[in-house]
Amino acid sequence: MTDMESGISPETTVGRVALRVNALDRMSRFYETVVGLERLRKNDGTAVLGAGGVPLLELVVDADASERKRQEAGLFHTAFLVPSRSALADALVRIEDGWELSGASDHRVSEALYFTDPEGNGVEMYRDRPRAEWPLSEDGLVQMGTLPLDIDELRSHATGAKNVPPGTVVGHVHLEVSSLAAAREFYVETLGMRVRQRFGPSALFLAADDYHHHIGLNTWNDRTEPVEGCGLLWFELVVPDDSALDRIRERFTASGIDVTPGETGIEVTDSDGIKVNILVRD
């Protein structure tokens, strides 16, 4: 089997993220006014938000869903990648004006802001440094770190924009899993993601190409139960063509993992009950 057949296509990107929520209006208002997404459509049960007309986040109301339990696996954060430092500075101002910042870090490959939505879902907003500046180890792995970010200096680049600019995407999804070994079996050995960095025995950062990560996995909070209540409903990976999708389908089937046909692709579920929708780019 060739490298292309054994690994996921390097053109794969993260698509939309969907959250199961209790209070649709409050959550939609937060992602519009604090994160700065634009409302693309909304009805009694669903809100779709995005940037430049491209959908990035779907909020699906389930008023009877329980709050996420302390033991449940699921979402650590959804990470929105903005295309410029000024866009990140504008996000900082919106967070400080209308919400509360919980963290800010220089990761050497990126600058990132962290906060939590009204129902406890983690959110990251970040901008990447040029890839030529990313530090690499001798074996080619990216060397991310967690250094202090000068938010006063960042704030000085703000323009006053109330929305994220076109070109903003979901850069990565970071998951809390119950077993790093089981998650690696699903996302690396079967799906075909590449390991880009390891943080000891408790975290892996994976990408389809040489990006710093499209998927993060960690066991930092000792999650032990599958996804059940509010929080992450599903996330998407977008592949470039039908042949890339077929290779993924074949690998999951060969591994004994159920593959369900979706509207425009396939659906698979990882070892913690996290649903991944894999579809072909339009």
Please tell me the total number of residues recorded for the chain in this structure. Answer: 282
pLDDT score at 262 = 84
> CATH no. for residue 103?
3.10.180.10
DSSP state of 185: I
Give the number of domains in the chain.
1
pLDDT score at 69 = 77
pTM of the model: 0.96
pLDDT score at 265 = 96
**What are the Cα distances from residue 55, in Å, to 15, 36, 126, 136?**
8, 13, 18, 33
Residues of the domain holding 181 = 3-280
DSSP state of 66: P
- Mean pLDDT, consecutive 10-residue stretches, the chain (282 aa), reads 65 98 96 98 96 98 84 96 98 97 97 97 98 93 95 98 98 98 98 96 97 98 91 97 96 97 93 97 92
> Mapping DSSP to helix (H, G, I), strand (E, B) and coil, where does residue 3 land?
helix
Distance CA 4, CA 272 (A): 27
Distance CA 130, CA 142 (A): 13
Distance CA 81, CA 92 (A): 13
Question: Which residue from 207, 201, 204 is spatially nearest to 184, judged by alpha carbons?
Answer: 204
Token pair 């440094």: residue: 129
State the virtual CA torsion across 192, 195, 199, 203 in degrees, nearest 10: -10
pLDDT score at 2 = 40
